[in-house]
């Protein structure tokens, strides 16, 4: 961002009290009061509805102060918000939210490329993208299971065949990928592709998903580190993309055969334990809650960061809760509860600004390096997912 653009962004921020309050509260370390999980969840879903209303059938990528408000719709994240809305609709018995999810799925079909791929980037762009395609397949699969409408399965199959054809022989996806790089966070592409293969009975798609998981496991170190988790070569990956990687491996594990699934789950356990220890050791004062988790990590699971990525924190809460479900290890449950409370403390449920009320910021502090001065829809989506999982876990604990 140029100096003049930065000045304009600061001017927009200070022009509205709700914007200026974000910075003041983070400067002073003020956190939002804790509410019930139900209140936090309802606030998040209401904000996601407003984000959809701001963009039409798809969901606005973010409420973004530097750009003056709501951004255009984002095909990638609209795709997996479908699954969040359907999960909430079942939990709350809310038919209107279910209808919104159907509208998102229809919008994704309307803009699907002729090749079957999903469009890349924010807005309606003409280029295809591997990761975006995987996330929309996630939504279409969930819609097909929920509604039985074959349109969603057919759209998913077209997308899945494109993914299969775009894959390299070694199982990686580099063509049509961000920075033309193969990323191990594509585990979150392999997972919905495997789900689709099961629904469609398509062996080629199943083998493509399985090959990608094998490729990812080939880039793992004994300490659970996985190469190529970052957006760019040579960078430390965000907890956001680490979360994608671990979520994808856990989701794919039951679908790739017993031995490969065991290896994938074991790798997630090792990585998640290093992250849990890093979190628990980051205490400012003895007997106090941990400090916010750093936004990025290096291959020794260390970090110099003083900012935190809220999306990644919510995703890691989901990973830890899933491991608690698998293993019954209360340390994972404890870490998930604490980090999710810290994310909840960034959600303002009383702001008069509808672009802020109920949303989760990109970073803590709000001017941090990941999506600064913005509320990306995927942060609120993963927060809602984590809350719903926590509600289920605590009922059965």
Q: What is the 3-state secondary structure (H, E, C) of the chain?
A: CCHHHHHHHHHHHHHCHHHHHHHHHHHHCCCCCCCCHHHHHHHHHHHHHHHHHCCCCCCECEEEHHHCEECCECHHHHHHHHHHHHHHHHHHCCHHHHHHHHHHHHHHHHHCCCCCCCECCCCCCCCECHHHHHHHHHHHHHHHHHHCCHHHHHHHHHHHHHHHHHCCCCCCCCCCCHHHCCCHHHHHHHHHHHHHHHHHCCHHHHHHHHHHHHHHHCCECCCCCECCCCCCCCCCCEHHHHHHHHHHHHHHHHHCCHHHHHHHHHHHHHHHHHHHHHHHHCECCCCCCECCCCCECCCCCCCCCCCEEHHHHHHHHHHHHHHHHHHCCHHHHHHHHHHHHHHHCCCCCCCCCCCCCCCCCCEECCCCCCCCCEEEHHHHHHHHHHHHHHHHHHHHC
pLDDT at 291: 80
pLDDT at 22: 77
Q: Which of 396, 259, 265 is nearest to 328 (CA)?
A: 396
186 and 84 belong to one structural domain: yes
- Is residue 348's pLDDT more than 70? yes
- Is residue 245's pLDDT more than 80? yes
Tell whether 259 is covered by a domain.
Answer: no
Q: Which residue has the higher pLDDT, 199 or 282?
A: 199
pLDDT band at 11 (very low <50, low <70, confident <90, very high): low
Tell whether 228 is covered by a domain.
Answer: no
CA distances from 213 to 75, 162, 217, 314, 321 (A): 24, 18, 6, 23, 22
pLDDT digits (tens, 9 = 90+) for 115-142: 999 999 999 999 999 999 999 999 999 9
- Is residue 390's pLDDT more than 70? yes
79 and 195 belong to one structural domain: yes
391 and 346 belong to one structural domain: yes
210 and 88 belong to one structural domain: yes
- Is residue 241's pLDDT more than 80? yes
- Give the structural domain span for 129: 74-218
pLDDT digits (tens, 9 = 90+) for 171-198: 999 999 999 999 999 999 999 999 999 9
pLDDT at 284: 52
24 and 126 belong to one structural domain: no
Mean pLDDT of 158-172: 98
195 and 276 belong to one structural domain: no
Tell whether 234 is covered by a domain.
Answer: no
Contacts of 148 (CB under 8 A, 6+ apart): none
Tell whether 385 is covered by a domain.
Answer: yes
Of 218, 251, 281, the last residue of a domain is: 218
- Is residue 84's pLDDT more than 90? yes
CATH assignment of the domain containing 134: 1.50.10.20
- Is residue 388's pLDDT more than 90? yes
Total structural domains in the chain? Answer: 2
56 and 81 belong to one structural domain: no
Tell whether 59 is covered by a domain.
Answer: yes
Of 197, 218, 239, the last residue of a domain is: 218
pLDDT at 335: 96
95 and 59 belong to one structural domain: no
pLDDT at 397: 66
What does the mean pLDDT of the chain come to? Answer: 93
pLDDT digits (tens, 9 = 90+) for 283-339: 654 455 678 999 999 999 999 999 999 999 999 999 999 999 999 999 999 999 999
396 and 295 belong to one structural domain: yes
205 and 85 belong to one structural domain: yes
pLDDT at 285: 47
Of 178, 201, 218, the last residue of a domain is: 218
Mean pLDDT of 38-49: 98
Q: Which residue has the higher pLDDT, 272 or 9?
A: 272
Tell whether 252 is covered by a domain.
Answer: no
86 and 214 belong to one structural domain: yes
pTM of the model: 0.94
Tell whether 379 is covered by a domain.
Answer: yes
pLDDT at 28: 75
Q: Which residue has the higher pLDDT, 368 or 252?
A: 252
pLDDT band at 8 (very low <50, low <70, confident <90, very high): low
Tell whether 253 is covered by a domain.
Answer: no
58 and 81 belong to one structural domain: no
């Amino acid at each position: 961002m140029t100096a003049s653009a930065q000045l304009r962004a600061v001017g927009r921020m200070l022009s509205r009290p709700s914007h200026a309050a974000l910075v003041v509260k983070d400067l002073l370390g003020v956190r939002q009061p804790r509410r019930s999980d139900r209140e936090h969840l309802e606030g998040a879903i209401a904000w996601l509805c407003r984000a959809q209303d701001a963009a039409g059938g798809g969901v606005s990528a973010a409420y973004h102060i530097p750009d003056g408000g709501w951004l255009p719709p984002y095909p990638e994240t609209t795709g997996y918000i479908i699954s969040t809305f359907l999960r909430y609709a079942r939990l709350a018995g809310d038919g209107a939210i279910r209808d919104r999810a159907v509208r998102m799925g229809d919008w994704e079909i309307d803009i699907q490329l002729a090749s079957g791929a999903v469009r890349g980037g924010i807005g309606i762009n003409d280029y295809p993208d591997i990761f975006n395609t995987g996330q929309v397949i996630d939504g279409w699969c969930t819609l097909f299971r929920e509604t039985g409408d074959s349109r969603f399965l057919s759209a998913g199959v077209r997308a899945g065949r494109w993914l299969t054809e775009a894959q390299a022989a070694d199982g990686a996806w580099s063509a049509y990928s961000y920075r033309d790089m193969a990323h191990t966070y594509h585990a979150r592409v392999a997972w919905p592709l495997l789900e689709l293969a099961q629904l469609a009975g398509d062996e080629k798609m199943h083998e493509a998903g399985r090959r990608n998981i094998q490729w990812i496991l080939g880039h793992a170190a004994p300490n659970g580190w996985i190469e190529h988790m970052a957006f760019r070569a040579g960078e430390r990956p965000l907890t956001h993309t680490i979360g994608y990687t671990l979520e994808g491996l856990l989701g794919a594990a039951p679908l790739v055969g017993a031995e490969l699934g065991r290896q994938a789950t074991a790798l997630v356990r090792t990585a998640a334990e290093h992250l849990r220890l890093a979190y628990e050791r980051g205490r400012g004062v003895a007997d106090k809650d941990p400090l916010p988790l750093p936004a990025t990590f290096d291959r020794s699971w260390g970090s110099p960061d003083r900012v935190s990525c809220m999306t990644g924190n919510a995703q890691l809460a989901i990973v830890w809760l899933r491991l608690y479900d698998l293993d019954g290890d209360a340390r994972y449950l404890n870490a998930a509860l604490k980090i999710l409370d810290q994310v909840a403390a960034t959600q303002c449920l009383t702001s008069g600004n509808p672009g802020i009320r109920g949303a989760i910021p990109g970073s803590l502090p709000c001017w941090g390096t990941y999506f600064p001065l913005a509320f990306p829809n995927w942060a609120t989506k993963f927060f809602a997912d984590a809350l719903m999982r926590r509600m289920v876990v605590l009922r059965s604990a």
